[in-house]
Amino acid sequence: HSMAHNDWLEFLIDYGLIGVVILFAFVMSFFNRSRKANNPTSKLVLLSIFLVFLIKTSFSMCVVDDYTIIISMSYGYALQMNNEHQLC
């Protein structure tokens, strides 16, 4: 099985239009959650992580890459920092 060097194309080939729609919905929820952060620092960090994720999915395999855990952990940590800011 050969792999495309783009997550969007890979999802289209492997899962069809439904796969691309699901990936798009995931990316949009990722963006919306980042955009709605209350803490300005968290918002900047979350949008930066989103931008890295978006660029990485466009030019390489990010969704199935081993290093995606770093993006996921950074995103989770930034979300938690935003949530702690809301409690204060």
pLDDT in tens, 11-51: 898 899 999 999 999 899 989 988 988 888 889 999 999 99
- pLDDT of 81 above 90: no
Please state the pTM of the whole predicted model: 0.78
DSSP 16-77: HHHHHHHHHHHHHHHHHHHHT-SSHHHHHHHHHHHHHHHHHHHHS--TT-TTHHHHHHHHHH
pLDDT in tens, 41-74: 889 999 999 998 889 888 887 777 778 888 889 8
So what's the pLDDT on residue 2?
A: 62
- pLDDT of 88 above 60: no
Q: How far apart are CA 69 and CA 18, in angstroms?
A: 25
